[in-house]
Amino acid sequence: EILASVGSSGYSHDTRQGFVDMTRALRSPGSTLKPLVYALAFDEGLAHPQTMIDDRPMRFGSYAPQNFDGLYRGPVTIEQALQLSLNIPVVALTAELGPARLVAGLKRAGVTPVLPGDAPPGLALALGGVGVTAEDLTALYAGLASGGLAVPLSARPAALPPVRERIVSPEAAWQVGHILAGMPPPPNAPRQRLAYKTGTSYGHRDTWAVGFDARHVVTVWMGRPDGTPVPGAFGADVAAPVLFEAFARLKPALDPLPPPPPGALMLSTAALPAPLRAFHPRAAAFAAEAGPELAFPPDGALVETAGGPLTVKIAGGRPPFTLLANGAPIVVATRSRAPDLALAPGHVTLSVIDAGGGSARAAIEVR
């Protein structure tokens, strides 16, 4: 039952297109479809929450996805990949499943996905390359919250149909919910176990947060109705706090999520059956990972520091970084891409080494 639906900030707000019901508007879901990909992969025996998967540059034919922040984490568990919302692992699993299987899963959940130009589904589907509505996402997450069974949405109280479409197994639905419940809440939000996922569409046009406990599902979309980008807006920063506030207004405490079903495999990576310990994509070609570059100072630069620190700027590469001056380490294992270095005046060969062993250097003069 739909208890509340707010389609705009105000029906009479003409300048904000308040007459448009954004709960029914087709928008890109960003990363909010990723939980379904992982649930389908669990059911297919491709992965388990503790399966290791590579997060590094890969190419799938002509498609070379990147993570939102441009960084790569190397080997991670599936649980970490979902909680960090990494793009490479979920695309690798989508390639193994086949995008058509993801579309079928969406339709079983009651979602009507609209593909650009009626094109066949591609791997970008997993990253939000499809049109869905806020009502669609609510139905999808209601199904995950209901043990993998589809939940038809209705504005009036109605009994569930005697036969409901199964989206994924109870075990897969619980595993995904358990992972999402391990997400840290936004700053200043109550520390309660709410299973939730955020999403940000390409160009920052849509920000999402969808969450559930044992009884309720809430979907939050924020953006501009005309599709104008909102630079710097992310679902985790903008929509997630609203999601937690909505639950706080709904009830004083969350209804606890259910315990694992009997068939859920609760094992560490090392204890998993050998085929489940690591996922190796068959459809991907590993791309050479770009090493770091010293964006500043450039090679041959004369730098005036007036006795103060020199702020170095690092582009590319994978943190943490180690910086050396004339072969001697001066900063070790920093994740900053703009560290401050205390350098003595004179000729200095500045070097940077990233986590993958890539390196760059610049010969400079400090005054």
Q: Are residues 26 and 143 in the same domain?
A: yes
The half-sphere exposure of 282 on its side-chain side, counting CA atoms within 13 A, is 4
Q: How confident is the model over 43-68, as pLDDT tens digits? A: 999 999 999 999 998 989 889 999 98
Cα separation, 264 vs 170, in Å, equals 8
Domain extent for 242 = 14-285
pTM of the model: 0.77
Domain-located, residue 4: no
Q: Are residues 311 and 222 in the same domain?
A: no
Q: Give the sign of the dihedral formed by CA 122, CA 123, CA 128, CA 129.
A: negative
Please give the mean pLDDT across all residues of the chain. Answer: 91
CATH value at residue 350:
2.60.40.10
Domain-located, residue 340: yes
Domain-located, residue 57: yes
Q: Are residues 225 and 298 in the same domain?
A: no
Number of domains in the chain: 2
Q: Which helix (H) or strand (E) holds 321?
A: strand 321-325
Q: How confident is the model over 323-366, as pLDDT tens digits? A: 989 888 899 888 899 999 999 999 999 999 888 778 888 999 99
pLDDT attached to residue 16? 58
Cα separation, 120 vs 55, in Å, equals 26
Q: Which residue has the tokens 């039952």?
A: 1
Q: Are residues 350 and 235 in the same domain?
A: no
Of the candidates 285, 313, 343, which is a domain's last residue?
285
Q: Are residues 80 and 131 in the same domain?
A: yes
Q: Which long-range contacts (CB under 8 A, 24 or more apart) does 61-67 make?
A: 61/283, 63/91, 63/122, 63/123, 63/124, 64/287, 65/91, 65/123, 65/124, 65/127
Q: Are residues 149 and 188 in the same domain?
A: yes
Domain-located, residue 9: no
CATH value at residue 170:
3.40.710.10
Q: Are residues 307 and 240 in the same domain?
A: no
Q: Are residues 93 and 130 in the same domain?
A: yes
